[in-house]
Structure 1
Amino acid sequence: MSKANTKEQEPKEQKSMAREILEMVFYLVIALLAALFIVNFVGQRTQVDGHSMDPTLADGQNLILDKVSYRFRDPERYDIIVFPFEENGKKEHFIKRIIGLPGETVQIIDGYVYINGEKLESDIYGAEVMKNPGRAAEPITLGDDEYFVLGDNRNNSRDGRYPEVGNIKRSDITGRAFLRIWPLNKFGLLKHQ
C-alpha cells in the first residue's frame, strides 16, 4: 500500500515542479516587460560625459531621465535635456540646457543671450560672457518644434551655437534630467528653473 501512495505522489510532484517552473518563467517575462516599459517610456539612467554642464553637472555623474513629463507638457526654458547626437558614425547623447523656445529668435550679442531682441537677464546658469557666439552671432528663428540649447559651461560647450548640433527638435528630446543618483553625496533632484 505504501508503494501505491509513492507512485501516486510522483506525478503530483512532477506537476507541481512543472507548474513552479512555468510560474517562474511567467514572472520573469512580466519583470522583463516592466523593465522595458520603464526604460522606454518612464525613466532612463545616463552618465554625464565631459565638462560642458559644469558647475551644475560634473563629468562622471549618473542621472535618471524623466521620459514622461514631456508627454503632458512642453519643455520649458532652463530645462536640462538629453538628446541624441551622431558624428562620424558614432552615436552619443548630449546633455544641455534649453535657452530658446519654439517661435523665438535667439542671438548672442557681446557674449550675452538675447531672446526676441531682449537680453536674457534671468540666465543665471551661464553667467560667464561667451567668447564664441557661433552661428548665433546672427539671429536664429526657431521653428514651431525647435529649441536652442547651451551648456552651462558656455566657453567649453559644443551646443546650439555649432551647426553640427543646431536646433533641437522636440521629437529628438530623449528626456529631462530629473535626479542625480551618483555620486551619493550629490544625490538629489536637479534644479531647472
Structure 2
Amino acid sequence: MEIYHPRDEELLREMRRVRRSDRRKRLCIGLSILLILSIATGLFVFHRYYQLAVTHGAAMGGTLPEGTVVLVRKPETGKTYEAGDILLFEKRLAKPVELTILSPKGKTRRYCKYILYRDVGTTRQYFSTAGGTAVWLADQTNADVFQSSDEGTVTIATEDLKNGEYHLQEVMASYGQDLLKDPIPFSVNNPVRTQMKRVIAGPGERVVLSPYAETRVNGREIDRSYTSGRTEDAAPEGRRVIVPKDRYFVQGDQLSLSMDSRETDYNTVADEEILGRAEFALWPLQYFGDLTGRQTTVAGSETEAAE
C-alpha cells in the first residue's frame, strides 16, 4: 500500500518547473544562435554585394544633394551600365606636368629631345605609346620622344602615368649644346577623388557636344527634366566623342557645378575606376527612394546638333 505525502506533489511540480525552464533556456539559446547567424549572413551578403556612400559637393543637384546616404551595388565581373545609371567611382584628375629644363650654366634647353623612364627595383622601363596603348618597355628603341619648346619647357601628359617618381633622359641636344648626362627627376601626384555622376553614354556610343544646342547621344537629345544649372556644353568649339571600349561618358545633374566628361581634361570613366552603381537613397527621408531605371535620352529627331 502506497502512502501519499503532500511533499511528493510539491516535488513533482518543482521537477516540471525545472524541465520547462530548461526548455525555455534551450529555446532562447537556439533562437540567439539563429539570430546571430542570420545577422552574420546578412552582413556578409551586404559586404559582398553592397556598400554605403555619402555624397559630397553639389554636382548631382537636387537628385542627390550633399550629405545624402546612398546604397551602392558593387561592380560584378562583366557588368555593364546603361544610360541613366548613377555611378560611384574614383576619378584620378590628371594634370600635365611642365618642366623647364636648364643647362648646368643656366641656359635654356630649347628644342632638345627626351625620353621618359622609371626604375622598378633594379629594372629600368621606358614609356611608349607606339602601339596606341601606353606600355613600359625594357628597351628604349621605341620609347616616346618629348621635345622642349622655345622656352625650354617639356609638357608631359599624365593620364597614363600612375602617381610616383619618374625621370627624363636627354637623348638629343639642340645645335651648339652639349648633351645633358644627368637625368631630370620629377614626380606625378594627381589627386584621386570619389565622385557620383550619371551615365550619359556607354562604350561605342556617339556623343555630340555643341555650344548652341543640347547634348545628343546617337542623334537623340538628352532629357534635362532632372537637371539644373547651365544646359550648354563645356565645349565652345563643339566636338564629337565616340566613347571608348570599357568606358562611360558621365555628367552631373547640376550642370553648372559639375566637372565631368564634357571637359576634355576630365575624360570618360574607365571600368576599373567604378566602385558600383547607386541604387537607393536612404537619407534624408525626403530623398528616400529608388535611383535606378531613369532614361537620359528622349525620342526625337535623329538629326545631329551642329558641331
Number of equivalent positions: 163
Amino acid at match of 1:177: A
Amino acid at match of 2:196: I
Judged with a 3 Å threshold, the aligned counterparts in structure 2 of structure 1 residues 62 and 136 are, in CA distance, closer, same or farther, namely farther
Aligned to 1:75: 81
- 1:181 lines up with 2:282 in the alignment: yes
Cα distance between partner residues in 2 of 1:135 and 1:86 = 24
Q: 2:202 aligns with which of 101, 104, 114?
A: 101
Deviations 1:10-48 (A, max 9, x none): xxxxxxxxxxxxxxxxx89x95x9757643x41111111
In the aligned structure 2, how far is the partner of 1:90 from the partner of 1:143? 23
Q: Is 1:60 aligned to 2:67, yes or no?
A: yes
SS in 2 for 1:176: strand
Identity over aligned pairs, percent:
27
Counterpart AA for 2:91: F
* Contact 2:51–2:74 (CA under 8 A) maintained in structure 1: yes
Q: State the TM-score, normalizing by the size of structure 2.
A: 0.46
- Paired with 1:92 and 1:157, the residues of 2 have a C-alpha distance of 13
Tell me the residue number matched to 1:43: 50
After TM superposition, give the deviation of residue 85 of structure 1 in Å.
1.7
Match of 1:144 in 2: 245
Answer yes or no: is 1:167 the counterpart of 2:167: no
Look up the equivalent residue of 1:106 and give its one-letter code.
V
Amino acid at match of 1:153: Q
Change (3 A) 1:71 1:120: farther
Deviation at 1:174, TM superposition (A): 1.0
Contact 2:200–2:248 (Cα < 8 Å) also in 1: yes
1:175 deviates by: 0.7
1:107 partner letter? V
Cα offset, 1:180, TM superposition: 1.1
- Equivalent position amino acid for 2:217 in 1: I
Distance in 2 separating the partners of 1:164 and 1:191: 28
Q: Which has the higher helix share?
A: 1
Counterpart of 1:113 (choices 192, 212, 215) is 215
Deviation of residue 192 (structure 1)?
A: 3.8
Cα RMSD for the two superposed structures: 3.0
Residues 81 and 97 of structure 1 are in contact (CA less than 8 Å); yes or no, is this contact kept in structure 2?
yes
Cα distance change on mapping 1:45 and 1:147 into 2, 3 Å: same
For structure 1, the residue ranges without an aligned partner over 5 or more in a row are 1-26
Moved over 6 A (4+): none
CA distance in 2, matches of 1:192, 1:93: 23
Deviations 1:135-166 (A, max 9, x none): 99311111121210000111110111123421
What's the CA shift string for 1:33-76, capped at 9, x where partnerless? 9757643x4111111101111111101111110115x5465211
Alignment check: 8 A CA contact 1:112 1:129 kept: no
Alpha-carbon distance change, 139 to 52 in structure 1, aligned in 2, over 3 angstroms: same
CA contact (8 A) 2:64 2:287 kept: no
Q: Which is worse superposed, 118-127 or 180-189?
A: 118-127
Alignment correspondent of 2:305: none
TM-score under structure 1 length normalisation: 0.70
Q: Rg: which structure is higher? A: 2
**Aligned counterparts of 1:46 and 1:95: Cα–Cα separation in 2:** 10
